[in-house]
Chains A and B, each alone.
Chain A
Amino acid sequence: MPIPAGSHEPDPDTGEHEMAAYFPVLLFLLVGLSFPIITLFIAWLVRPNRPNDVKSSVYECGIEPETPAWTRVSVRFYIIAVLFVIFDVETIFLFPWAVKYGVLGLFGFIEMSIFLLILVVGYIYAWRKGALQWA
């Protein structure tokens, strides 16, 4: 019996190995973390380091920066962030429904129509209030 690497189907009887399927993903995350760190370390070993005042000043078309860049930002970005949270949660809510849509049939269709109708009312409200208007 060959070892099935990669196809981490859970055992139909015991349901074993279910979390084990995520172990290679964890490995991938760790490799993804260590790869840039190791490469940056190698670059640190081989690259020159000759800083001077002009080189390490912040770029602003050759003019001395008068103020730091850490200032307040337009309220538009916050509105976009709030809208994003609403619509992204809604999208995620659609995912499990979509996977099981073939089973749910007409019931699923009507229920999701009602859900999306409520959402569309909110969307139209946001549009009328000018939340989607940039500038």
Chain B
Amino acid sequence: MKEQLIQYLAVPMLQIAAIIGVMLLCVMYLVLWERKLIAFMQVRMGPMRVGYHGLLQPIADVVKLLLKEDVVPKAADRWVHLISPIILMIPALACFAVIPFTGTSFEVGAFTIPLVNYDVPALTVTSWVADLNIGLLYFLAISSLGVYGLVLAGWSSNSKYSMLGSLRSAAQMISYEVPLGLSIVAILMLSGTASLVGIVEAQQEAGHWWLFWAPLGVPLLWPQFIGLFLYFVAAVAETNRAPFDLPEAETELVAGFHTEYSGMKFAFMFLAEYLNMILAALIVSVLFLGGWLPVTFGIPGLSELFGNFLPFLGGAGAAITGFFWLALKVFLVLTVYLWLRATFPRYRYDQLMSLGWKWLIPMGLAHVMVTALFMLLRG
């Protein structure tokens, strides 16, 4: 009984607390990094006042949002207005349950909690909360629930801008769900499993990232580049980010679905958007870029060299090195995300729809069949 309590309650709760804490911190500094990077690209300075080069700006922002008055329009549906940010937050957080952050488990020896004299047996703590054999399906299923939050937020505000924004976002998110699903079918074929841990282990076994899968041995003929491109474009559209930020196009819709939101409720919609960005970057890193495997993985000699920075810590050193490589990949993918915003102008709505339905879906279907054919040719 005691063992089960520790295995299924105490350890997962600590993991969840750690993941949520770290991810909230990541979102805070991702916002600052976005403002700094875009300022740099536009030859500005960005936040400079709060702390050294604006380093304390995110904390000031959180305090400000917490103390803001919550303005709800009289004509709005109060209850739906209140629950829609919560509906947005649940999937954005729950998706992290299946993400493997590093491959090596932490070994924790038996110890006694002081004061209460509670004996804790030896533990093996993994970096993921749950390794489901349907991990990728779980991610797709849960992350697509976020669209309910957007639709209800726009509808409950009883404002024309919110309503238009939420209609647009609903149509956009369900349209890009299809290419998103198609782009990862090839990864499932290559890995032979839908578990995210299994996908990284399959890449480890294959000796290269899935991105550099060369079926015919021809240099630079890497079909998964199409998969990465499809996934990335669809993920940018799914998270309503520029150049597909039609649902909150400020030049036409004020702020889209969150026009009538303020204070902490607005903060949660903002938080959910950035959590979804981090999730998309994590999934790109795990599926295509080898997850926790080192950046030099696949290059003879170098992959062992960068596999463990802290060999004197043993398994924990390898785990920390894995964290580092995954964090580096996620950081680079997110930087490209922000770079897109600084570079591309916003799409028109009919262009967005025809890109999704007339280009990405045929490309996705062709990508699946081409990968299947290559796998067959290789035997």
B42 proximity list for chain A (CB < 8 A): none
From residue 87 to 129 of chain B, which have CB atoms closer than 8 A to chain A? 89-94, 96-98, 105, 107, 121-129
Q: When the two chains form the complex, which single residue of B76, B123, B365 contacts A2, counting CB atoms closer than 8 Å?
A: B123
Contact A70 B254 (CB under 8 A): no
Q: When the two chains form the complex, which single residue of B67, B76, B90, B121 contacts A46, counting CB atoms closer than 8 Å?
A: B67
Contact A36 B89, CB 8 Å, known A2-B107, A5-B11, A22-B130: yes
Contact A6 B96 (CB under 8 A): no
Contact A21 B132 (CB under 8 A): yes
Contact B66 A70 (CB under 8 A): no
A127 proximal to B (CB < 8 A): yes
B363 proximal to A (CB < 8 A): no
Q: How many chain-A residues does the 8 Å CB contact rule pick out?
A: 80
B121 proximity list for chain A (CB < 8 A): 2-3
Contact A116 B182, CB 8 Å, known A33-B90, A134-B354: no
B329 proximal to A (CB < 8 A): no
Q: How many chain-B residues does the 8 Å CB contact rule pick out?
A: 97
A121 proximal to B (CB < 8 A): no
Contact A28 B8 (CB under 8 A): no
A91 proximal to B (CB < 8 A): yes
B358 proximal to A (CB < 8 A): yes
B157 proximal to A (CB < 8 A): yes
Residue of A nearest to B375 (CB): A101
10 further A-B pairs in the complex, CB-CB below 8 A; given A36-B89, A58-B75: A6-B129, A31-B13, A32-B92, A39-B268, A56-B71, A60-B159, A60-B160, A70-B163, A109-B376, A134-B354
Identify the B interface with A (CB < 8 A): 3, 6-9, 11-13, 15-17, 20, 66-76, 82, 85-86, 89-94, 96-98, 105, 107, 121-132, 137-138, 155, 157-163, 167, 170-171, 174-175, 177-178, 181-182, 185-186, 188-189, 192-194, 254, 259-260, 263-265, 268, 349-350, 353-354, 357-358, 361-362, 365, 368-369, 372-373, 375-376
Nearest 9 A-B pairs (CB), nearest first? A6-B126, A91-B181, A32-B93, A24-B12, A5-B11, A43-B264, A98-B188, A134-B350, A2-B122
